Amino acid sequence: MAGIRDFHMGDNRFFKIAQITDIHLSSFRNEGPEQPTLALIEEIAEAEKPDLFVCTGDLAWRHDTVPCIREFARFMDEKKLWWTFAYGNHERDYGPPTRVIERILKESEYCIFDAGPVEIKGQSNYVVGVYNRNERLRFAVWMLDNCEYTEIRGHRTEAYIDSTQIDWFTEEKKRLCTEYGDGCRSVFFFHIPLPEYQEALDAGVTMGNCGEKICTTEVNSGAFAAMKEMGDVIGVFVGHDHTNDFVADWHGIKLCYGRVTGYCDHRRGGYPANDAFERGARIILLDQDNVDKLQTYLYIAGGKVIPQIGEAQ
């Protein structure tokens, strides 16, 4: 698929994804939370053995963005851990050229990344294919960049998934169906929650923590409606809000927050001022024998598992 690595499940029933988010690497030069964060990722790898780590943004957030991303990629290569990346709202805050970040990611042996078509908004719009034991495309893992800020009524706010991106993923899905046949299911990963996360919370249908205000865009661009109309989307996964980890079944699509992974505190990017909110990851199981049944749970540092949808494996 457009030069992006595909995964083949073989006889394995489940394709397992570990969503990591809001790591907020700052500097490897001084003692800080970077090493506990990497230790947690290694713990997750050993305990859960995911096929793929998906980083939903804010991997780094300060002036040392480029060396931090380089060091993180080196770590993942050393541990031989496959991972993908979508931009958050902080990687570009301090002006590192995206072409430099892209080069680091593409040079990493175990990183799956593509900037995406140049004619659409953003710089991390791509899809990763997951094939079953019969070499049929069963799952499409969509990565989107929804983190270019925008100006609304004179103030800077979170941007939205725009029409160029919506047209791209809906048309690309049609192409995949034409090329590989129907039967594929889609999951989406990006950083900023959709407005529908707030709707689900207001409707009282969420399960899990909502420890802070949902920071979503002020403009509903219709991205969720487009995903619903695709007819094959089973889950959407975001980050951004550090003490939210809830899930909701909203019009047949699972809306899920990740679990914050980075050991930063309130002085580094809005983390809580204490360690009460334990770090971890969201684990997602895609079932080739039942493609409509998405299972997901939280893995917490130290080995605690919190089931949310389906049973933890």
Residue type, 48: E
Helix (H) / strand (E) element for 173: namely helix 163-180
pLDDT tens for each residue of 17-42: 999 999 988 877 666 678 889 999 99
DSSP state of 260: B
Contact status, residue 221 vs residue 247, Cβ threshold 8 Å: no
Q: Write down the pLDDT at residue 2.
A: 38
Q: What percent of the chain has pLDDT over 90?
A: 68
Q: Could you give the CA distance from residue 27 to residue 63 in angstroms, rounded to a whole number?
A: 9
Q: Could you give the CA distance from residue 130 to residue 4 in angstroms, rounded to a whole number?
A: 11
Give the three-state DSSP class for 285: strand
pLDDT band at 312 (very low <50, low <70, confident <90, very high): low
DSSP state of 231: S
Most distant CA atoms of the chain, gap in Å:
55
Between 6 and 48, residue with greater pLDDT = 48
Range 226-229, long-range pairs (CB < 8 A, 24+ positions): 226/166, 226/169, 226/170, 227/186, 227/188, 227/253, 228/252, 228/253, 229/170
Other CB atoms within a 10 A radius of the CB of residue 266 amount to 11
Q: Could you give the CA distance from residue 82 to residue 87 in angstroms, rounded to a whole number?
A: 17
pLDDT band at 1 (very low <50, low <70, confident <90, very high): very low
pLDDT of 78 > 80? The answer is: yes
pLDDT band at 3 (very low <50, low <70, confident <90, very high): very low
Chain center to CA of 237: 6
Contact status, residue 258 vs residue 19, Cβ threshold 8 Å: yes
Question: What is the overall mean pLDDT for the chain?
Answer: 89
Q: Write down the pLDDT at residue 203.
A: 97
Q: Average of pLDDT values for 184-193?
A: 96
Polymer length of the chain: 313
Contact status, residue 237 vs residue 227, Cβ threshold 8 Å: no
Q: Write down the pLDDT at residue 89.
A: 85
Give Cβ neighbours of residue 33 (< 8 Å, ≥ 6 apart). Answer: 26, 262, 263, 264, 265, 268
Phi first, then psi: what are they for 222, rounded to 5°?
90, 15
Give Cβ neighbours of residue 6 (< 8 Å, ≥ 6 apart). Answer: 128, 129, 130, 131
Residue 268, Cβ density class (10 Å: 0-12 exposed, 13-18 middle, ≥19 buried): middle
pLDDT band at 93 (very low <50, low <70, confident <90, very high): confident
Give the three-state DSSP class for 25: strand
29-33, 55-59, 151-155, 262-266 — which is least confidently predicted? 29-33
Q: Write down the pLDDT at residue 30.
A: 65
Q: Write down the pLDDT at residue 267.
A: 53
pLDDT tens for each residue of 114-146: 999 999 999 999 999 999 888 889 999 999 998
Between 226 and 156, residue with greater pLDDT = 226
pLDDT of 4 > 70? The answer is: no
pLDDT of 154 > 70? The answer is: yes
Q: Write down the pLDDT at residue 91.
A: 82
Q: Could you give the CA distance from residue 179 to residue 51 in angstroms, rounded to a whole number?
A: 25
pLDDT of 96 > 90? The answer is: no
Q: Write down the pLDDT at residue 120.
A: 94
Q: What percent of the chain has pLDDT over 70?
A: 92
